[in-house]
């Protein structure tokens, strides 16, 4: 057991020892002086009851009994232990695609909503990990720094929309650059990115994003959202549906999930590709993927439920005072 004396005033209890010792010395001197006044020393043996040889140990027994009593009080009031805890800690950036194709409704109610729900359900299964959020399309910005404040994260997630980005497209490199900036003060063994995207409109920068991720020690877990059959892409103006995205010939564009780049980015960085269409299974698979290469962090934790040993100290203290009582039943301080 290691006592952590955060309240140092407990140590003042130990001052009782020199005070008690001083009292005993003064008492012995006072008693001797009174006996000398009462009668000459040669008459003491006849006038006063003869003490046993054990009484000369009484001062030491009083001091030891008090000492162990103080130890029991300190342990009872303040005893705590520092416990070494090896925890798996990750620093996770959720990198979310907010290109217009994420409005497609082949996953109800939409790909974007599915991605946001996946983020929140994944966070609900995290414990000690720090999380941050980067959104990207043709450009990228960080909307939340690395933090363990999961409640605030839900507020940020709720505000994410595809119109958050003026420049459209799906530039994985821009997103990875924004994530890298957030990892500056994070050890490389615990840098994780969860990439949520339909993979469409990829601007061909996935290889550059992979090189940057490997250079920075980032593991990518990519989550593909959307179906192979696809769906039209709604076009909104101030929240009102204006129609569906069309090509140069006026034909309605069908947006389909493209998994090739997503799978390649995950595999090339030691991560995992996950189908994000099943909201019931995907969060657990994401957590499993994050923990595959988690870095261990050994920390010292002060246990508030430390093992106390005051009962042993108290027992020794009682033993010393019991010996005094046995050999001095009148309790008359015949020391």
Partner residues linked to 88 by β-bridges? 296
* 107 in a structural domain: yes
Residue 298 has pLDDT above 60, yes or no: no
Same domain for 128 and 193, yes or no, is yes
Residue 197 belongs to a domain: yes
pLDDT at 192 over 90: yes
Residue 332 covered by a domain: yes
CA dist 154 and 152 (Å) reads 5
Asked whether residue 320 is domain-assigned, the answer is yes
Same domain? For 95 and 165 the reply is: yes
Q: Are residues 163 and 210 in the same domain?
A: yes
* Residue 188 binned pLDDT confidence (cut-offs 50, 70, 90): confident
Average pLDDT, the chain: 80
- What pLDDT does 128 receive? 80
Maximum average pLDDT range among 22-31, 171-180, 289-298: 171-180
More confident residue, 117 or 302: 117
Whole-angstrom Cα Rg for the chain: 37
Is residue 2's pLDDT more than 50? no
Q: Are residues 92 and 222 in the same domain?
A: yes
**Per-residue confidence band for 215, with pLDDT thresholds at 50, 70 and 90:** very high
Q: Is the pLDDT of residue 230 over 60?
A: yes
Instruction: Judge if 112 and 223 occupy the same domain.
Output: yes
Report the greatest alpha carbon distance in the chain: 132
Of residues 150 and 306, more confidence is placed in 150
Whole-angstrom CA distances from 73 to 78, 127, 254, 320 are 8, 37, 76, 16
The pLDDT-based confidence of 297 (bands split at 50, 70, 90) is very low
Same domain, 97 and 174: yes
Question: Of all helices (H) and strands (E), which one includes residue 287?
Answer: helix 282-291
Same domain? 33 vs 136: no
Are 99 and 135 in the same domain? yes
pLDDT of 309 > 50? The answer is yes
- Do residue 290 and residue 335 come from a single domain? no
Answer whether the bond into residue 109 is a cis peptide, omega within 30°.
Answer: yes
147-174 average pLDDT score: 88
Helix (H) or strand (E) holding 129: none
Q: Give domain status of residue 2, yes or no.
A: no
Domain of residue 120, residue span: 86-299
Determine, yes or no, domain membership for 165: yes
3-class DSSP state for residue 102? Answer: helix
**What is the mean pLDDT of the segment spanning 104-122?**
94
Q: What is the DSSP letter of 274?
A: E
Tell me, yes or no, whether 187 lies in a domain.
Answer: yes
Asked whether residue 154 carries a pLDDT value surpassing 70, the answer given is: yes
Same domain for 185 and 267, yes or no, is yes
Residue pair 103/112 in contact (Cβ under 8 Å)? The answer is yes
The secondary structure element, H or E, covering residue 187 is none
The structural domain count of the chain equals 2
pLDDT digits (tens, 9 = 90+) for 34-89: 666 665 565 555 555 555 555 566 777 777 777 777 777 777 766 555 555 555 67
Q: Percent of the chain having pLDDT more than 90?
A: 42
Share of the chain above pLDDT 70, in %: 75
130, 271: one domain? yes
Looking at residue 3, what is its pLDDT?
44
Same domain, 59 and 126: no
Asked, for residue 10, whether it belongs to a domain, the answer is no
pLDDT for position 189:
77
Residue 21 in this model has a pLDDT that exceeds 80: no
Q: Where are the alpha helices (DSSP H) in 11-79?
A: 16-38, 44-47, 58-78
């Amino acid at each position: 057991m290691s006592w952590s004396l955060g309240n140092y005033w407990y140590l003042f209890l130990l001052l009782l020892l020199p005070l008690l010792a001083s009292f005993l010395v003064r008492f012995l001197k006072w008693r001797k002086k009174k006996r000398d006044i009462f009668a000459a020393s040669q008459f003491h043996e006849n006038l006063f009851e003869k003490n046993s040889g054990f009484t000369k140990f009484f001062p030491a027994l009083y001091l030891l009994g008090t000492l162990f009593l103080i130890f029991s009080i300190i342990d009872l009031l303040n005893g705590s232990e520092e416990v070494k805890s090896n925890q798996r800690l990750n620093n996770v950036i959720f990198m979310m695609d907010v290109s217009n194709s994420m409005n497609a409704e082949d996953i109800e109610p939409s790909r974007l909503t599915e991605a946001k729900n996946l983020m929140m359900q994944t966070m609900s299964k995290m414990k000690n990990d720090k999380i941050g959020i980067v959104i990207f399309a043709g450009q990228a910005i960080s909307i939340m720094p690395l933090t363990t404040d999961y409640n605030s994260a839900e507020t940020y997630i709720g505000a994410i929309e595809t119109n958050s980005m003026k420049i459209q497209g799906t530039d994985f490199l821009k997103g990875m650059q924004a994530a890298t900036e957030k990892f500056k003060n994070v050890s490389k063994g615990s840098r994780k990115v969860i990439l949520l995207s339909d993979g469409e409109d990829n601007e061909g920068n996935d290889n550059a994003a992979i090189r940057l991720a490997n250079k920075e020690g980032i593991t990518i877990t990519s989550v593909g959202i959307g179906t192979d059959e696809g769906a039209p892409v709604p076009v909104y103006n101030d929240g009102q549906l204006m129609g569906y995205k069309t090509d140069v010939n006026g034909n309605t564009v069908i947006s389909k999930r493209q998994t090739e780049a997503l799978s390649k980015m995950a595999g090339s960085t030691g991560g995992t590709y996950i189908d994000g269409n099943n909201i019931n299974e995907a969060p657990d698979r994401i957590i499993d993927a994050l923990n595959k290469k988690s870095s261990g962090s050994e920390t010292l934790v002060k246990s508030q439920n430390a093992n106390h040993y005051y009962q042993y100290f108290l027992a020794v203290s009682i033993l010393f005072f019991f010996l005094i009582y046995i050999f001095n039943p009148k309790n008359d301080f015949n020391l």
